[in-house]
Amino acid sequence: MLIRSYSSQRDKKRFVFYGFSAYAEGSFFLFFRSYFRFLFTLGHCLLEILTEQPEGTTSTAGKILWGEEILEIHSEGDVGLKRRETMKYKAVIFDLDGVICSTDRFHYFAWKKIADELGIYFDENINQRLRGVSRAESFQIILEKYDGKLSSEETEHYLEQKNKLYRSYLEEMTEANFQEEVKSTLLELRKRGYKFAISSSSKNAKFILTRLGAINLFDAISDGNNITKTKPDPEVFLKAAEMLGLNPSDCIVMEDAESGIEAARAGGMKSIAIGDAIPEGLSDYKVKCFGEILKIV
């Protein structure tokens, strides 16, 4: 669509859309008298204006997408748009496992085989302690119940075995495992102008997102391949913010593990806890399901 812009006086611009005119004055207040649909940018905001004239009436109904705001318009004749407050955040950084998808059972099956081979007791409760923890650190937690001693070579062998088992289970994942609630919520957040990043200690993050058909939804992926410290150290989140070209304070983190919430706070970011594993009061917000993020940001 061809959009022409004219400066008529200070803080005032005139836009012409296929012969229809609109004005932006001061704090970006627009008026127009017509029934049509168009897209345009104003400042850093993308707007989509849809106006329609219900049959037999002179009223106009429209929807405007402005950054994070969706405004419903109902008026007689003139349609007005006034810019609201700017977005509180510019990006959402998500943990992967337990937030975007769930691969807990695959981790459990893989670690259980390793533990059984070494004669170590391992159950679901111990597995919960491994949430948000790197592979090497997870193995050290499992070895707390081991009476023997492993050499560095043996340790590396079992870590590689665990990853091979885990990836073999991940091969079972398909796009059908990408929950509709998560997908639709991400698409809605994208409409509102947010950027997305994944921050995970897993070195399989890109592989998992590819299996889900979701990798193209994210602007940045910070994972176990580009960090040297794991949560609760904030490195993985700070690198994600850097990849997005944003300050940490411009980002909000969604996590399902206590170590992740602590990492977000250490990195100067607000946090949203999802699920029951995080104690009350530790995060800035808490939700029961993924879609509730829309009420926060």
Which residues are known to be catalytic? 95, 97
Full strand arrangement of the beta sheet holding 91-94: 220-222, 195-199, 91-94, 251-255, 270-274, 285-287
